[in-house]
Amino acid sequence: MTALPPGPTGSALSQTLRFSSDPYGFLKSAPLEIGDPFTFTMLGEGAMVLFSQHEHIRQIFALPRKNLRSANETVRFLLDERSIVFLEGEEHRHARKVMSTPFSGRTLEGYARSIHAATVHELSGFADDALVPLHTAFQHVTFDALLEAIVGVEEAERFAALRGHLLSYVDGALTPAMFAAAITVGPWLQRHTAKAVAAKSATLRAGGAPSAWGPLGSRTSTLARCAVLLHELVQERRESDAQGASVLDRFLQRPGPDGSPVADHDIVQELLTLFVAGHDTTSIGLTWAMVALLDHPEVVARIREEVAPFMGTGPDFAGLARCAYLDAVISESLRFYPPSPLVPRRAEVDVTIGGVQLPAGTRFGPNIIGAHFSEAAWGDPHVFRPERFLDEHPSSAFVPFGGGHRKCLGAAFTRFEMRIVLARLLTDFDVTPGPKHSRDASVHGILIGTKKPLKVQVRRRT
């Protein structure tokens, strides 16, 4: 049997604790201390070979899809087996094609006004010198925009209950505690969740109220309410024969890979996947961007100068889209703080990456934070310097959303939304760090967020 590259000393438990207590620090230092690639053994998941060199990452994303499977075992506690995360072959290709269109091109541009309106609404609640929890504020904005893209604007206004339950579910799922549960009792957690949600969904359809008692009682009750409300929406939209452009409408308009309509259950699972994966990815990305900007007032000043001509009461979104420095700042913040630094794959056949032989069955993937802090690729990786993205850089060394046939569906949506929210916030407010400000990171379920909630003091600019 081919030996895998060396990894950190210590057990899977000790490696997992190092990762969970300082995820960015661990993934930055390991290639330097051990070598690149290295083998990271995570509790509950086993060995995973991680590559940081951008040429090796390019090779990983260029592998034929038939030779790979998803290896995101940690997220199984969070999503159903019919989620796109776990689909393979034609089913995965079909779901991805349906789900990608509402998050790209001209369809994406159509969300600009509603994203801006949601931002203005949220910022209107900021009082001068108040201590504001920014991540929570960003969650509200990004979720409303996502709701429009997934189910359509009328339902975004109508389904206040669905909004509340989904926010509660995502907030409860993407936590350090749920990450710990996923890697220690993941299989049990998955079975228990599926069984409890099925039973509680039946109770809700019969007009009853699901119990919140027992292990994870509140979480499974919330998920059941989300599932039932989404099932009702799918059935209603199917009967109305709607022709909208939302993800839900597109699933109903396009037959599945076998030519038959996509099952209601499968549609609901894909909608839930988008809410879980898309919501906090953007709000965490915005939070990390503000962490960086709080340290760099000169960058904030340059952003304000660039966006000023386009940020009137009714913004010029086309002009804002041409703000190259703002986009460079977003890229640099995503380089420093990628919300999801690991996107593992499983080899279906023997593969070779960078001369390293990986037998069939091996879990492997890019070390995104390692690639983002490679001196060979970036020269001065520990310096926050947005200007680097105004010049040429190795594209395969910048992979905050993964790559290949499983690249994050919401990559363009996240950047698009970050541009509008940051431009409005920085135009309207001076923002300074609150007490006990920290840049430390921790694992939030399947993402990497700030260890302490980011709280800032705000004052409206005149």
DSSP 6: P
DSSP secondary structure, 90-103, as one string: HHHHHHHHHHHGGG
Query: Are the C-beta atoms of 115 and 421 separated by less than 8 Å?
Result: yes
**The pLDDT of residue 156 is above 70:** no
Q: Are 406 and 277 a contacting pair, CB within 8 Å?
A: no
Residue 191's pLDDT band (cuts 50, 70, 90): confident
Instruction: Report if residue 20 sits inside a domain.
Output: yes
CA atoms of 103 and 444, how far apart (whole Å): 24
Q: What is the pTM of this model?
A: 0.92
pLDDT tier at 447 (50, 70, 90 boundaries)?
Answer: confident
User: What's the pLDDT score for residue 2?
Assistant: 66
pLDDT exceeds cutoff 80 at 79 = no
Q: How confident is the model at residue 431 (pLDDT cuts 50, 70, 90)?
A: very high
pLDDT at 338: 93
Tokens of 291: 């962490």
The answer as to whether 2 is a domain residue is no
Asked whether the beta carbons of 119 and 425 are under 8 A apart, the reply is yes
Longest CA span, the chain? 68
| φ, ψ (nearest 5 deg) of residue 401 | -115, 20
Query: If you average pLDDT over every residue of the chain, what do you get?
Result: 88
Number of domains in the chain: 1
* 267 assigned to some structural domain: yes
The count of other CB atoms within 10 Å of the CB of residue 309 is 11
Q: Is position 85 within any domain?
A: yes
The reply to whether 70 falls in a domain is yes
> Which of 71-80, 361-370, 407-416 has the least mean pLDDT?
71-80
Of 85, 294, 275, 250, which Cα lies nearest the Cα of 173? 275
Q: For residue 4, is it within any domain? A: no
- Residue 6 located in a structural domain: no
User: SS3 of 261, please?
Assistant: coil
Q: Which amino acid is at 202?
A: A
- The packing angle between helices 12-21 and 176-205, to 10°, is 90
Residue 331 has pLDDT above 70, yes or no: yes
Domain residues for the domain of 432 are 12-460
Which one is predicted more confidently, 353 or 247?
Answer: 353
pLDDT for position 424: 96
150 pLDDT band, cuts 50/70/90, is confident
Return the CATH number at 208. Answer: 1.10.630.10
CB 426, CB 303: distance < 8 Å: yes
Q: What pairing do the DSSP bridges indicate for beta strands 351-353 and 345-347?
A: unpaired
Most confident of 61-75, 82-96, 116-130: 116-130
- Is residue 7 included in any domain, yes or no? no
What is the radius of gyration, based on Cα positions, of the chain?
22
